[in-house]
Structure 1
Amino acid sequence: MKKTPWLVCLLSVSAFASGGTPGEKVIYGSDDRLDLYQVQNSRDVGLADSTVALIEAQNLTLNAGKYAIAAGQFGREFGLCTDEPFFDQPSGAFCSGSLVAPDLIITAGHCIKNAGDCASTKFVFGYAVKKEGAFPTEAAAANVVGCKEIVARKQEGNGADYAVIRLDRSITNHAPLAINRANDLKDGDHVGVIGHPSGLPTKVAFGDSLVRTVNKPGYFMANLDTYGGNSGSAVFNTKTGLIEGILVRGENDFVYVNGCRKSNVCPATGCRGEDVTKIAEVAKLIPETRTNPPVPPKPRSSWPTSHRAPRE
């Protein structure tokens, strides 16, 4: 896999989006993305703890039990307008994933395509802003793990897109996430996403996103607030906390405004929607998780509104 710089990927995105291959993503209605320190629901914080950033091994340097993470500044890397949310944060990830067994990660198939990608990718837990203004620049060695093998992979332009990755060691300091094995997701169900939009530190988007249609071969569609870098993110049922799918494709991320880029904002019911590989596509490969997440407390009445570019 060619190591394509973020900006080059961004400039070429229209070709991806129109062809049904992995494309960019977008904001629907209000921007529901929150940094980890802003998340008040303890269940959702726990879910985020078992998600990972996919970072190229060449961008990690081990020293004294910690990996330094080389990353560009989000706003400058993408040529964004200075009022764009998260402008000053680092952009170090190229995709997202989640832990579903002590030694298994699920992500998008276009994120890890072959043995070379497996060898050159590290999965990093805790790449998040846990305190206001404290951007992540390093990760403990215990939170960085490599890829041993690709257990299963599929990449269909207008269908399922997934990779099941076996890690080079079992994870004991993060709990595997539970998946929905009932295959009972319905149109109108509330869903949310946790991942790394545009390579940013973890963003939790559990706002008012809904399933638009489940009647698609291998995937469903929802109006999730996602970007390039969210590819591979776990999409959760916000009521149960169970994984319903893997985020893979969507609308264009950014639009030009007066010589700089701003987030593409669509009406909640507008634009094409985001494509999510159904978790049923990989369920047989994932061991049963003994305990499901607790049902969350009644949601807050309002959410902050201010607040992918895959490798090729």
Structure 2
Amino acid sequence: MRYSRFGLFTRSLVGTLACTLTLAVGCDPVEELEPRKSEDPLALGEKKDEVVFGTDDRQDVYAHPDATLRALARQATVALMRADDFDATDPNNVTILGPTLGEYQNLCSTERFRDDPTAAGCTGTLIDDDLVLTAGHCLRTDTQCAKTKFVFNYYRTDEGVMQTITTEDIFGCAEIVASKLGIYDGKQLDHTIIRLERSATPRFTPAPVRKSTTALSLGQNMAVIGSGSGIPFKIDSGGSVTDPGEDGTYRFNATTDTFGGNSGSAVYETNDYTVAGILVSGREWDYVENGSCNVVNTCSETGCYAEGSIYVYPALQHLCAVTNNASQRLCTGLP
């Protein structure tokens, strides 16, 4: 069990699997196995099942060598927060609140990113002027929509230096446009697309999205951008596909170094930088005890079951169906 500063809860795929045994279509699994504080919009976002595979490939945005991935982090990635996760008294310099990662996870002094703030509960991706894609278990009710803020520019520009965040970089949730969490037609889905309260363009730029129904290739290199453990955006481009699934309309697994808070992160193909999937599940605990403090849980590249992602295609298909193909960017050319 993990004790989130957003409330007491646990979440895994157990609820979904149990649901599979009872209902085949439209089943919405129960996720909370323990009581938690009210209906927190971000508590659902922290997963208990993540791990670092082999070498920890996460890098701060400023330090990553790939310019396109850096641009996607800066222009298309959002952190899901609550209003009390930041102080906007100065609209030109918003202050991120909350404990550091070292304090929050009781990390040993040897651990990376221990001085980072832990404000995010999930990650999302701008995919159209005013549309953000995230995981269904991160946000799926009107109450959660009303309480969630979508924060751009949550990254470091240098060692120990945060990018300035202004109120122009923070958006409210106007509505949930398309959301599914559970088993539909025999397939597990876990996506939400929300509409922001105002357009994010041209200030920010949507990420390109994969529209193919063809499965990824075994061993294909993948990248993830997000707020693992709630910290400022990190880029991991060292993952590879271990199970591409039967086709491009369900799920795939890859050895991405991701943590609770990466839920909803875009999983990118690194050959053309399109969003191929949404990170939704994993296998092992994020941190493990090492004497009186904790360290990142590591596993060999082939020693653990890889992280699970849902292909992005079902989310696009759902969006275009319920909006009558309103998004030219996302619906044009969709199979």
**Superposition TM-score tier, normalisation by shorter sequence:** 0.7 to 0.9
Aligned equivalent of 2:106, options 56, 60, 79: 79
How is 1:250-269 mapped onto 2 (pairs within 5 angstroms)? 250-251=282-283, 252-269=285-302
The alpha-carbon deviation at position 5 of structure 1 amounts to 3.6
Name the amino acid aligned to 1:261: N
1:143 to 169, 174, 177: 169
1:65 paired residue number: 91
Q: Give unpaired runs (5+ residues) of structure 2.
A: 17-30, 32-46, 321-326, 331-335
Equivalent residue letter for 2:265:
S
Which residue of 2 is the match for residue 6 of structure 1?
A: 5
Structure 1 CA distance, aligned partners of 2:111 and 2:90? 36
Which residue matches 1:242?
Answer: 274
SS in 2 for 1:180: coil
Secondary structure at the aligned position of 2:271 is classed as coil
> Within 5 Å, which residues of 2 pair with 1:141-180?
141-156=167-182, 159-172=188-201, 173-180=203-210
Write the distance in 1 (CA, Å) between the matches of 2:60 and 2:138: 23
CA distance 1:266–1:19, shift in 2 (3 Å): farther
Partners in 2 of 1:260 and 1:16 — Cα distance? 25
Distance 2:171 2:6 in 1: 27
Match in the other structure for 1:190: 221
> One-letter code of the match for 2:173?
C
**Partner letter of residue 267 of structure 1?**
S
Q: By how many angstroms is 1:17 displaced?
A: 6.3
Aligned Cα root-mean-square deviation (Å): 2.2
Query: Would the alpha carbon gap of residues 174 and 7 (structure 1) be closer, same or farther in structure 2, given more than 3 Å must change?
Result: closer
Aligned to 2:253: 221
**Do structure 1's residue 270 and structure 2's residue 303 form an aligned pair?**
yes
Q: Which amino acid aligns with 2:83?
A: A
- Give aligned-pair identity as a percent: 35
3-state SS in 1 of match to 2:137: coil
**Across the two proteins, how many residue pairs are aligned to each other?**
282
Cα distance in 1 for residues equivalent to 2:328 and 2:210:
10
Q: Residue 149 of structure 2: SS of its match in structure 1?
A: strand
In the alignment, what sits opposite 1:132? 159
CA distance in 2, matches of 1:19, 1:30: 31
Residues in 1 aligned to 2:113 and 2:328: alpha-carbon distance in whole angstroms: 37
- 1:51-102 Cα distance to aligned partner (Å, 9 max, x none): 0011111223322423322121111111121211111111110000000001
Q: How big is the shift at 1:133? A: 1.3
User: What secondary structure does 1:77 align onto?
Assistant: helix
Superposition pairs for residues 29-108 of structure 1, below 5 Å? 29-49=54-74, 50-66=76-92, 67-108=94-135
The amino acid of 1:228's aligned partner reads G
Larger radius of gyration: 2
Query: Cα offset for 1:40?
Result: 2.2
Shift of 1:236: 0.1
Equivalent residue, structure 1, for 2:51: 26
Q: TM-score, normalization: structure 2?
A: 0.78
> Match for 2:72: what amino acid?
L
Q: Per chain length, whose mean CA-contact separation is higher, i.e. which structure has more relative contact order (CA < 8 Å, sep 6+)?
A: 1
Deviation at 1:289, TM superposition (A): 3.9
1:211 counterpart = 2:241: yes
Deviation at 1:154, TM superposition (A): 1.3
